[in-house]
């Protein structure tokens, strides 16, 4: 997309990006990126907000291979001059194209709409959010089977634990200091009969020249590159928690976080497990430092279904 020349006599300069469905990378006269997808969907929705445009059945005047013509397509365009938004648009557009190869007509529409919905409401980055996401990505990256691990991660917003795999749950906790005091909710200790929940705890410390959240996420995406929906799942978490890339994000000591990764069975932890009726949203901190941890082999023995999500030893 960045290699396209700006149009001289049309709205967009385009290049074929995909042939089934027919899709094009595009840039407008200001050099701003867009994505055009030819589809027979009857959808007519048009959205214009926060520097993004989504328009189905749009009539587009385009230049391609030195000629000008009109095409009717679903158009997603970045109309903002913000370089961070433009960069994120291009990056996610590449994932979107991979997802479109296996999509039907209705899925094409929803995939394009998701691109706009994700970028119009990026998250507000925070130190706490970056530390937590770094730890989750580290567990995914170290997992035996990254494809299965990412599928098990953040399955629904209502899940009480970060990962749900078979009859096992994993709650990832990270400390930005050298202690292991973590915040839990009462609900996380309420596990259905026959299920087993574990905590993966580590220290995520800032370090000059270390690993950024986005660079670690890029390596997770490489491990799941054969499934564009999983790649998008990782990207969605990045944008939601870290916001748009800005080139000045914190970096962390990945080697230290890996070395300090410890596993605990939630049944073994001191916790508030019951409260009087009419009381909810109970949260409390547990200091894991003095408590015995489990080896990965011991976790697997207690809950075999978690094997794909556990680190290789």
Per domain, the residue ranges of the chain are 12-120, 127-226+235-309
Judged by phi (left if over 0) then psi (alpha if -120 to 50, else beta), residue 29 lies in alpha
Q: Which residue has the tokens 């907000």?
A: 49
What angle is formed at CA 219 by the lines to CA 217 and CA 222, rounded to 5 degrees?
A: 115
Would you call 265 helix, strand, or coil by DSSP?
Answer: strand
Q: Specify the DSSP class assigned to residue 271.
A: -
User: Token pair of 98, please?
Assistant: 């991979």
* Nearby residues of 230 by Cβ (< 8 Å), 6 or more positions away: 147, 150, 151, 224
**Mean pLDDT, range 170-176, rounded to an integer:** 98
Backbone angles phi, psi at 122, to 5 degrees: -65, 155
* Nearby residues of 248 by Cβ (< 8 Å), 6 or more positions away: none
Asked if pLDDT for residue 243 goes beyond 70, the answer is: yes
Note the pLDDT tens digit of each residue in 46-56: 888 889 999 98
User: Token pair of 143, please?
Assistant: 């997992």
Taking the C-alpha atoms of residue 82 and residue 19, their distance in angstroms, rounded to an integer, is 30
* Nearby residues of 49 by Cβ (< 8 Å), 6 or more positions away: 120
Taking the C-alpha atoms of residue 60 and residue 184, their distance in angstroms, rounded to an integer, is 52
Q: Which DSSP string do the residues of 45-69 spell out, in sequence order?
A: -EEEETTEEEEEEEEEEEEETTEEE
Of the pLDDT bands very low, low, confident and very high (cuts 50, 70, 90), residue 1 is low
Pick the closest to residue 305 from 182, 174, 198 (CA basis): 198
Would you call 177 helix, strand, or coil by DSSP?
Answer: coil
pLDDT above 70 covers a percentage of the chain that reads: 99
Taking the C-alpha atoms of residue 254 and residue 211, their distance in angstroms, rounded to an integer, is 6
Backbone angles phi, psi at 243, to 5 degrees: 75, -160
Is there a cis peptide before residue 21, judged by omega within 30 degrees of 0? Answer: yes
Does residue 65 contact residue 16 with C-beta atoms inside 8 Å?
no
Does residue 18 contact residue 101 with C-beta atoms inside 8 Å?
yes
User: Token pair of 221, please?
Assistant: 């995406």
Q: How many residues does the chain have?
A: 313
This prediction has a pTM of 0.91
SS3 letters across 100-113: HCCCCHHHHHHHHH
User: Token pair of 287, please?
Assistant: 């200091």
Note the pLDDT tens digit of each residue in 250-305: 999 999 999 999 999 999 999 999 999 999 899 999 999 999 999 999 999 999 99
Mean pLDDT of the chain: 93
- Helix, strand, coil percentages (3-state) for the chain, rounded to 5, are 35, 30, 35
Q: Sign (positive/negative) of CA torsion 238, 242, 244, 245?
A: negative
Note the pLDDT tens digit of each residue in 199-228: 999 999 999 999 999 999 999 999 999 999
């Amino acid at each position: 997309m960045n290699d396209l020349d700006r149009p001289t006599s049309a709205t967009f300069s385009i290049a074929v990006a995909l042939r089934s469905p027919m899709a094009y990378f595009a840039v407008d006269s200001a050099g701003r990126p867009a994505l055009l997808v030819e589809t027979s969907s009857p959808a007519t929705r048009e959205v214009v907000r926060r520097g993004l445009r989504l328009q189905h059945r749009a009539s587009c005047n385009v230049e391609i291979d030195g000629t000008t013509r009109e095409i009717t397509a679903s158009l997603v365009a970045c109309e903002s001059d913000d370089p961070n938004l433009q960069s994120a648009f291009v990056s996610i557009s590449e994932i979107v194209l991979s997802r479109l190869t296996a999509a039907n007509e209705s899925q094409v529409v929803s995939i394009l709409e998701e691109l706009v919905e994700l970028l119009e409401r990026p998250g507000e980055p925070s130190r706490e959010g970056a530390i937590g996401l770094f730890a989750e990505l580290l567990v995914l990256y170290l997992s035996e089977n990254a494809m299965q691990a990412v599928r098990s991660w953040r399955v629904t917003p209502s899940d009480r634990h970060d990962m749900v795999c078979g009859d096992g749950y994993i709650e990832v906790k990270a400390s930005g200091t050298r202690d292991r005091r973590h915040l839990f909710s009462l609900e996380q200790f309420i596990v259905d009969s026959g299920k087993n929940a574990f905590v993966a705890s580590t220290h995520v410390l800032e370090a000059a020249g270390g690993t950024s959240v986005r660079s670690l996420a890029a390596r997770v995406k490489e491990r799941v590159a054969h499934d564009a929906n999983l790649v998008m799942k990782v990207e969605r978490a990045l944008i939601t928690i870290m916001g748009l890339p800005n080139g000045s994000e914190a970096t962390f000591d990945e080697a230290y976080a890996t070395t300090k990764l410890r596993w605990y069975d939630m049944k073994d932890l001191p916790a508030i497990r019951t409260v009087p009726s009419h009381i909810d949203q109970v949260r409390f901190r547990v200091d894991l430092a003095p408590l015995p941890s489990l080896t990965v082999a011991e976790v697997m023995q207690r809950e075999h279904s978690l094997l794909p999500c556990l680190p290789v030893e």
